[in-house]
Structure 1
Amino acid sequence: MASHYTATRGRLDRRWKLLLVVGFLGLAGGVRTALDAPAAGYELSLYRATPLLFWGGVAVAFLAALVVGLSSDSGRGRLTAAVLGGSAGIAVVALPVVRGYHFYGQGDALTHLGFARSLVGGTLQPQDLLYPGVHLFSVALNAVTGLALTRSLLLTVVVFFGLFFLFVPLCVREMTDAPGALVVGLFAALLLLPINAVGTHVVAHPSSEAILFAPFLLFIALVGVRLPTRGRLRPSRLGLAFAVVAPTMLFVHSQETLSLLVLFGAILGVQIVFRLFSSTHPIAQHRPLLFETLFLGALWTAWAGGRPRVTSRLEAAYDFVVGGSATSAGGTVAGRSASLTDIGASLGGLFLKLFLAAAVFSAVAGIVMLGSPLGRFDDVFPDHNALNKYLTAAFVPLAAITAVVFVGDFGDHYFRFVGFLMLPVTLVGAAALASGVPALRSRLTTTGRRRLLAVLFALLLPLAVFSLHPSPWIFQDNPQVTDSEMTGYEVAIEHQVPDATFAGPRGGGDRFADAIYGPESSTALAFPGEAIPFTAWTNLTGAYDDGTYVPLRPPDQPRELSLYRGFRYGSDGFRALQTTPGIHRVQSTGGFELYYIGDE
């Protein structure tokens, strides 16, 4: 009997190894295919422009990792499956780098590129920036590797995603002793619930990178609470590691650091309550998170507490709480919904693409969070469900802050707070799925639960992958920036007529001035850029005086005519640029065209 079992297990192990080999070969072949097909110009959709073999290789890698990770009884097999799945995730995130994009990201990303260039040029010092972490890392990568700064900034973003894929599974493994915790945690991380494509993005965006970095510090904290106490304010060895890593989080972004500080403060509060009222509970025996909370709080106060940008936002939040009224985020959502409806988009379909995975995990995490204070899951998770209790307590103030930001006048920052809120949701949801809540344990065998998890991730992962990068799939254009586009703006700005204005569809090029000359440069600060009003698009000579430049970027026509179906800027306006007397094409640089309104 024993020999039969050993032989059967040996055959299964060989099958898992073979499947893993196929997965790694598929991924390597897919990446090789993408490397051999660099972008020749602007691509409206990164997904469609990437060779189909790349997506086939990634799909094979994900499926192999999922099957082996959830089926193998070997710890080494599950670990190898996690490495394969994480590598496939990195390949998808790094696709702009693999495809040879000059730069990836418009809006804030171009401004951050300008800050990095200013640091390299010595016209800006790190202490002058509220959050110089992403910029400094890219500058260091540029200095060490010799890569162009545009490329090193893209690689910096990939590094932060890699840290997220590493430490989310490690956090989940701390929260549950289930054998498949690492794999379930990885696939939960691959869903990238904090990246919602509205307020958090897969580009150089320090707020997004800070959320991705937060699990690193959270992992140190979750491991550290179980270490022997050495005094309330004396840090453990992991506490010293926390002190080394914490400044990185602060320098990446202060707002997300403050959210993490709230999370740690809530955990400390739970520990204090249990020490006072339930001294026999495992939480009462945990090392207090006092050093980490005080250290991070002091660090945040010393670096960011007195900065005008920070104090003004805190004052605005306070004023709203004590009696203000505004509906900025609600208005933003309503406005975008109306625009999407006007171009024939299905709001329900878009919600499913962007938020189905978040809704599923929120439901699972919500069940655990509601039951944790009542002790309903104390027999499922280690230490009487201590770590889930911590994150449940932290979720409450974080959700309250998110609600205040939603109804208050704080622009689109609401979706950034939602992004951070998805971090505890991801961890609690993954831990629950890995352990199997009692409802599942009573109805399904271990094999049945594994199959259910495999089906769940197989359904949710494609939605996450194809909603990660902006594309027509989610009614956004590819934020690719071509070399010719950057060169075109540089030439145009260098040779502009004095006192001229730059007016273009959805913007005149302010961000490119930031990227080329630095946001604090006199050129960028004085750059006369503006968006052409929708009503003036077909009558530019009537709306603008002589001395106005109209830049047309490579994305403009495909975005407006193909993606948005001429909703704001129709084909008549693009034709009028070439046929209207008094409008002259004065520059053409590989897809970038510059028109001038004037008699001369």
Structure 2
Amino acid sequence: MGAAVRPRDGDVLVHAREHSRGETAAGTVVAAKSTSLTALGGSISVVFVRLFVVGTVLTLVAAALLAVTASGRLRDRWTDAGVRYLGIALVPLSGVFLVMFVISAGDQYFRYQGFMMVFVTVLGAVGLAIAADKLDARAPTGTGRVLVLILLLVLAPVAAIGYHSSPYMYQPTSHVPASQLNGYAASFDHRQADIEFTGLRGGPQRYVDYYYGTQYSRFSFDFPGYEDGTSSATFANASYDEAYGETRYLAITQATFEREVLLYDGFRYSRAGFSRLETTPDVNRVRSSDGFRLYYVRATDPEDD
């Protein structure tokens, strides 16, 4: 796996569309994600422009068209009726969106906004077509169409590169190198059955599913440390004995190191924490292969104190 590239301003988009857990309000989720984005060197304003600039332009055009229609200045009877119909359809949708936002009912606002943009896009297209005709009537023939075409040529690429998955968004590859699979497989073969595994941002769930089979590992086999992760504070201070009070296996892959240190610049798991794995008493590397390391984190015996 190649080295990860540290994100530049706005290169990391943080999803505000994740499900809230418990009673966490959507505003709290967005605030937390915004803080993380800023800490990584990103910018909320840049993210907004990249995600919503095209929608904002179409919304302004649609709003102008609705205003012209409401004032009775749209001469085409059929166009007038269609615009009014779509405008009225947006009223209940906008109302529901505002109510859901005010009462913080979940955090799936992008779904409602995306549905509303279907109507806005149609109105925006009609507005641009009418604007082109108006410009052609007042300027040399073709001027309006050329200007609208230039606008679309500018907006289309901006909208396209915001699609999932886009150059703006870090998406880890789903490919797992054979060296990692072999490292975990060997560790499972030679582990002590009563010692739990742990890792960064979660346990070895994916590798357990691969090695033992998904159905068996999830429903029949109680693998020790299946989803257990090591917190950033525990990792930074190497306070494993204090956090666990029992012996653990800690698995680290090269991909994990590159993601945390090179991509996220040690935001949660720092380079110093990785270095302490090699110098902390009672933390011993018991397996090392290409892209995989396994540490035996021994709990301190009270009699040793």
Structure 1 residue 563, shift from structure 2 partner: 3.0
Question: Residues of 1 paired with 2:88 and 2:14: CA distance?
Answer: 27
Q: Counterpart of 2:234?
A: 536
**1:576 and 2:276 correspond:** yes
Aligned residues of 1:501 and 1:547 also touching (Cα < 8 A): yes
TM-score, length of structure 1 as denominator length? 0.39
3-state DSSP of counterpart to 2:46: helix
Classify 1:589/1:419 alpha carbon distance in 2 versus 1 (closer, same or farther; 3 Å). farther
Q: Counterpart of 1:448?
A: 143
Name the aligned partner's letter for residue 233 of structure 2: T
3-state DSSP of counterpart to 2:201: coil
CA displacement 1:232-261 (0-9 Å, x = unmatched): xxxxxxxxxxxxxxxxxxxxxxxxxxxxxx
Q: Counterpart of 1:422?
A: 117
CA displacement 1:15-52 (0-9 Å, x = unmatched): xxxxxxxxxxxxxxxxxxxxxxxxxx35746xxxxxxx
Aligned residues of 1:553 and 1:592 also touching (Cα < 8 A): yes
3-state DSSP of counterpart to 1:504: strand
The residue correspondences of 1:144-223 to structure 2 (distance < 5 A) are 198=15
Q: Counterpart of 1:487?
A: 181
Structure 1 residue 571, shift from structure 2 partner: 0.6
Classify 1:419/1:597 alpha carbon distance in 2 versus 1 (closer, same or farther; 3 Å). farther
3-state DSSP of counterpart to 2:60: helix
Structure 1 residue 572, shift from structure 2 partner: 0.5
Out of 245, 250, 254, the position equivalent to 1:550 is 250
Q: Aligned residue pairs: how many? A: 282
Aligned residues of 2:14 and 2:34 also touching (Cα < 8 A): no
More helix by share: 1
Question: Residues of 1 paired with 2:126 and 2:196: CA distance?
Answer: 56
Question: Residues of 2 paired with 1:589 and 1:445: CA distance?
Answer: 71
Name the aligned partner's letter for residue 358 of structure 1: G
CA displacement 1:47-77 (0-9 Å, x = unmatched): xxxxxxxxxxxxxxxxxxxxxxxxxxxxxxx
Out of 291, 295, 301, the position equivalent to 1:591 is 291
Question: Residues of 2 paired with 1:564 and 1:429: CA distance?
Answer: 39
3-state DSSP of counterpart to 1:477: coil
Question: Residues of 1 paired with 2:263 and 2:219: CA distance?
Answer: 36
Q: Counterpart of 2:303?
A: none
Aligned-residue RMSD, C-alpha: 4.1
Name the aligned partner's letter for residue 534 of structure 1: S
Q: Counterpart of 2:41?
A: 344
Name the aligned partner's letter for residue 339 of structure 1: S
Aligned residues of 1:329 and 1:409 also touching (Cα < 8 A): yes
Q: Counterpart of 1:116?
A: none
3-state DSSP of counterpart to 1:468: coil
Classify 1:509/1:421 alpha carbon distance in 2 versus 1 (closer, same or farther; 3 Å). farther
Higher-Rg structure is 2
Classify 1:377/1:513 alpha carbon distance in 2 versus 1 (closer, same or farther; 3 Å). farther
Out of 209, 212, 219, the position equivalent to 1:522 is 219
Q: Percent identity?
A: 32
Q: Counterpart of 2:90?
A: 395
The residue correspondences of 1:275-294 to structure 2 (distance < 5 A) are none
TM-score, length of structure 2 as denominator length? 0.70
Question: Residues of 1 paired with 2:73 and 2:226: CA distance?
Answer: 62
Out of 362, 383, 399, the position equivalent to 2:59 is 362
Unaligned runs of 5+ in 1: 1-40, 46-195, 202-325
Aligned residues of 2:287 and 2:293 also touching (Cα < 8 A): yes
3-state DSSP of counterpart to 2:268: coil
Aligned residues of 2:14 and 2:37 also touching (Cα < 8 A): no
Q: Counterpart of 1:159?
A: none
3-state DSSP of counterpart to 1:567: coil
Out of 187, 194, 202, the position equivalent to 1:507 is 202
Structure 1 residue 594, shift from structure 2 partner: 4.2
3-state DSSP of counterpart to 1:481: coil
